[in-house]
Structure 1
Amino acid sequence: MEEVSIDGYAQYQQNQFLTASPSKLLLAAYDGAIRFCRIASEKMKEGKLDEQSVNINKAMAIVCELLSTLRDDVSPQLVARLKMLYTYVIEKLAHANLNQDQDSLQEAIRILSSLRDTWAKADEILQQQQGNSAAISEGFTRGQEEVA
């Protein structure tokens, strides 16, 4: 019985990612990178360097993936700035890992958190605009039905 619920939960989680919007996937990536950085910070404080490294490497892998998915043709200025930020975060994570430097790790967390919050706000605004467009469109359609 326990295996079924675990398998069911795993399937649910997989479906959540398979059906998620690009913005939700982006936010999930930021959440993962931030979570791994925070775990690494705790492991660094505890002197558990192997676990620290594993978690920093996971965060770096996520940031590298974010970097690799940027498209220069979409918004060249924004992409250039994001590339600089992602590269800087990767450098900070590498420095934190090699030198057990909490300050570098905390700076990476601050930048990732700020980026995550910015994208979340942008997604919220976009959702509101799409909702308003749908409401306007629906009102227009209803108006036509009433006239007919």
Structure 2
Amino acid sequence: MSIQAYQNNSVETASPGELTLMLYNGCIKFIRAGKKAMDQKDIEQKNTKIQKAQAIIRELMVTMNQDYAVANDVLPLYDYMNRRLMEANIQNDSEILDEVEVLVTEFRDTWKQVLLQSRKAQYGTGGTA
């Protein structure tokens, strides 16, 4: 099985929670790639990578379940990250990319813990943490 086929299969068989985790990881990857391109003065790649990170943030925004009260707290943060990515791109500011990477990493790490807790509750595995 090729790497591409494996990746496609992973996405197709992932739960919604796992897909969200993949989005966070992808966003971090694109922010880092954008930062690297910025350091290398590769404006086209920087722009492409940062725009991909923004697209992921927008996807997280539109797929957020509005039924949960936490959405009212999270959506403004997603909007903030999206605006900061735009500013980083326009201003060629890697410090802004660092700031957004920290935020996305915190979201990802929190989401990972949520997934672990829900699996423990669902399957009764893992014992005490």
1:71-82 aligned within 5 A = 71-73=65-67, 75=68, 77-82=69-74
Q: TM-score, normalised by structure 1?
A: 0.80
Residue 132 of structure 1 aligns with which residue?
124
Structure 2 counterpart SS, 1:72: coil
The percentage of aligned residue pairs carrying the same residue is: 30
1:84 and 2:85 aligned: no
Unaligned runs of 5+ in 2: none
Aligned pair partner of 1:62 in 40, 53, 56 = 56
Asked whether 1:117 is paired with 2:112, we answer no
Give structure 1 stretches of 5+ with no counterpart.
134-148
Q: Distance in 2 between matches of 1:42 and 1:128?
A: 38
Deviations 1:79-125 (A, max 9, x none): 01111110000011000000001111111100000000000011111
Q: Which has the higher helix share?
A: 1
User: CA-to-partner distance for each residue in 1:21-80, whole Å, 9 max, x for gaps?
Assistant: 11110000000010000010111111111110000000000110110111222x1x3101
Per-residue deviation, 1:13 = 1.9
One-letter amino acid of the structure 1 residue matched with residue 108 of structure 2: R
Q: TM-score scaled to structure 2, two decimals?
A: 0.91
1:88-103, aligned counterparts within 5 Å?
88-103=80-95
Q: Which has the larger radius of gyration?
A: 1
Residue correspondences, number: 125
Q: Which amino acid aligns with 1:123?
A: L
Q: Counterpart in 2 of 1:17?
A: 11
SS at match of 1:13: helix
Residue in 2 that maps onto 1:141: none
SS of the equivalent of 2:5 reads: helix
